[in-house]
Amino acid sequence: MATFLYRLGRFAFRRRHFVALIWVALLTLAGVGAANAPAAGNTSFSIPGTEAQKAFDLLEQRFPGASADGATARVVFKAPAGEKITDAGHKAAVEKTVGTLSDGSEVASVADPYTGKAVSKDGTIAYASVKYDVSGMELEDSSRDALKEAAQDARDAGLTVEVGGDALSAAPETGATEVIGIGIAAVVLVITFGSLLAAGLPLLTALIGVGIGVSTITALAATLDLGSTTSTLATMIGLAVGIDYALFIVSRYRAELAEGRDREEAAGRAVGTAGSAVVFAGLTVVIALVGLSVVNIPMLTKMGVAAAGTVAIAVLIALTMIPALLGYAGRKVRPMGEKSKLLGGGRTRGAGRAAKPNLGTRWASFVVRRPVAVLLLGVVGLGAAAVPAASLELGLPDDGSQPTSTTQRRAYDLLSEGFGPGFNGPLMVVVDAKGSTDPQAVFRDVGNEIKRLDDVVTVTPAAANKAGDTATITVIPGSKPSSATTEDLVHAIRDKGADIKADSDASVLVTGSTAMNIDVSQKLNDALVPYLALVVGLAFLLLIVVFRSVLVPLKAALGFLLSVMAALGAVVAVFQWGWLSGLLGVEETGPVMSMMPIFMVGVVFGLAMDYEVFLVTRMREAYVHGEKPSQAVVTGFKHGARVVTAAAVIMMAVFAGFIGSSESMVKMIGFGLAIAVFFDAFLVRMALVPAVLALLGRRAWWLPKWLDRVLPNVDVEGEGLRTASGAPGRDDDDKELVRA
């Protein structure tokens, strides 16, 4: 592989106009496709195999035209202090609002509070339920605006009015912090390279890669049913890895220049060595993201595949466009250790002063001398950070997790005040009595059985379809939607349904947003172990091929588990316990998003292996070239520590930029990934890895002879470039690439 990539690097350096033209054409094509693509419509959310989804599918069959998955809104009215919502003036204002809402083109129905018994016992609070023909993601902006205007008219009449439900859901806003993250990345690159031009290359190529990836997602959004979160994730990961991959190749190029090689040869060797690490690091990220498909949640699968595509583009750009741009830059990109005059370059070192070992060398030498102490301290520190993870509570966000400044949260609180906390999470029980001889008796029996259960406040009479074989029953729990008590009630109803099925051959299914959230959390929990086994197993095999060692990949996997558990602990401490919540803009604490653990396992594993590959490949390269194991560790840090540190800081800055998002899910993902990179890069890879390798010595690179014969030799460390009798000529390069 190293030889092929070496030829590719020289080819791209020499044929820079051709390579640049291809990438500019791809960016233009993707941009035109995005601009002319039809607007993305409904982003369907389905959870195959869950009871809640089966109930939704049944409702669509038995209640045609009822829009079971249509958007809903609850317009909540509260009378001024000392007055009743039933007073004549207030009643007129409410009924006027109901009439206005009924005129909407996408509105299926609006329930009048006074005829629908939707007034609180004390007479101060009422609500109007609005049902739409389309889902919240399909709803036109004009319908949302009409909803807001109707609420404002009622406010002008002297009422307190808030709106809850998914009808007001909108695409998340990331705010200015995302731009700040990119700015921090630029500053780190300038400090690392000592050159504005060299620092600009990774940023430029990363932005081009993300531009192609996100534009392609936008162009295909309507066809493939992709949501806005898909683009956000692709941007987050594509930007981070795109900068990092380019950073490693540019750094290796400058190191090759410092050894006296000409620029074309330096570009070839940089792509042949660091580029090999980029390929395998990118493969681990792609495996982790595509592996999300094992969860069998279509939305999560699409997010993972789209982000993996953006990572693949980042790898290809780093291997081809970076050497092409280095060819354009010429002598403006200086050898390692030299700075531009603008940043203080050109100064001469004092006579007789020896070059001081860099910080990476000094740190590695310290760790090699005291590996046990460093190992114990690192493991204890990560273990302490992971302690909060033992209290992890999972759930999906609802209006109760929104900031108190939003109308959705205020509507949630008003409904809890007037009707009880469980009113915000009603359960819909679907009774399929098609195979029963007396469906009406079955409907009554189901309602009576549910009334006897604990934590049940209200059970509405069964509402049957025209055929009379299927009915819906609404159940109001006594506890809030995200509570364990409500989850127990859902399981209790389903247990009763199993008994009813045995007695009357009628099926009882529980659905609704609360039941759907419970099913999603359970599905994600069940998929975590198989997903972890798949991703870690495939990456373990890949790393055996890269490092030709058994213990080094094993150590990499164990280190990842430490870092991801510590990161989950930090997420629990901030988003569930409320530590530093004010500093990070977390206005409301609660259960951790149910997809967070499996999502962090996938993404963090891929990113963690990036640093493992880049850092340990340098050590492996030094060991293969004859250095002792302990000295190889120091050499690896001498050449790689500064770059890996810069890459980690950049990735943290990019991820942390998304903490400013208005969407709680994006905010949590940004924080979780940023803190995970910190733990993995600075504690695991920079401390535990050299300590373990120092303790293992030559055993770290042990590989059974039979396995050594079976494994392909991918030559990531570029040994083939060093042992080759001579560098290939230009014509040879072109011929070899044509054959490939």
- For every residue of 13-61, which 3-state class applies, written as one string? HHCHHHHHHHHHHHHHHHHHHHHHCCCCCCCCCCCCCCHHHHHHHHHHH
Looking at the predicted structure, is the pLDDT value of residue 41 above 80? no
Q: Give the contacts of 109 (CB within 8 A, at least 6 positions apart).
A: 130, 131
More confident residue, 310 or 600: 310
- DSSP string covering 357-414, please? PPHHHHHHHHHHHSHHHHHHHHHHHHHHHHGGGGG--EE---GGGS-TTSHHHHHHHH
Structure tokens at 686: 């920079």
Band of residue 43 on the pLDDT scale cut at 50, 70, 90: low
**Each residue's pLDDT tens digit, 451-489:** 888 888 888 888 888 888 888 888 989 888 878 888 899
Q: Are 700 and 620 in contact (CB under 8 A)?
A: no
Q: Are 625 and 645 in contact (CB under 8 A)?
A: no
Locate tokens 């009774």: which residue? 431
Q: Are 670 and 658 in contact (CB under 8 A)?
A: yes
Which helix (H) or strand (E) covers residue 473, if one does?
A: strand 470-477
Name the β-bridge partners of 158. none
Looking at the predicted structure, is the pLDDT value of residue 44 above 60? no
Q: What is the mean pLDDT of the chain?
A: 81
Q: How far apart are CA 684 and CA 682, in angstroms?
A: 6
- What is the DSSP pairing of strand 470-477 with strand 463-464? antiparallel
- DSSP string covering 568-630, please? HHHHIIIIIS-TTHHHHT-----SEETTHHHHHHHHHHHHHHHHHHHHHHHHHHHHHTT--HH
Phi, psi of 611 (to 5 degrees): -65, -35
Query: Reduced to 3 DSSP states, what percent helix, strand and coil does the chain have, rounded to the nearest 5?
Result: 65, 5, 25
Band of residue 381 on the pLDDT scale cut at 50, 70, 90: very high
Looking at the predicted structure, is the pLDDT value of residue 734 above 70? no
pLDDT at 346: 47
Q: How far apart are CA 305 and CA 220, in angstroms?
A: 13
Amino acid at position 736, single letter: E
Residue 392's nearest CA partner among 644, 566, 153, 618 is 566
**Mean pLDDT across 429-438:** 85
pLDDT at 725: 36
Instruction: Please tell me whether residue 305 adopts helix, strand or coil conformation.
Output: helix
pLDDT at 173: 52
**Mean pLDDT across 493-507:** 84
* CA 659 and chain centroid, separation: 12
- DSSP string covering 725-739, please? SSPPPHHHHHHHHHH
**Mean pLDDT across 425-436:** 86
The dihedral through the CA atoms of 31, 34, 35, 37 has a sign that is positive
More confident residue, 542 or 694: 694
Region of 212 (left: φ > 0; alpha: ψ -120 to 50; beta: rest) is: alpha
Q: How far apart are CA 566 and CA 688, in angstroms?
A: 14
Looking at the predicted structure, is the pLDDT value of residue 504 above 90? no
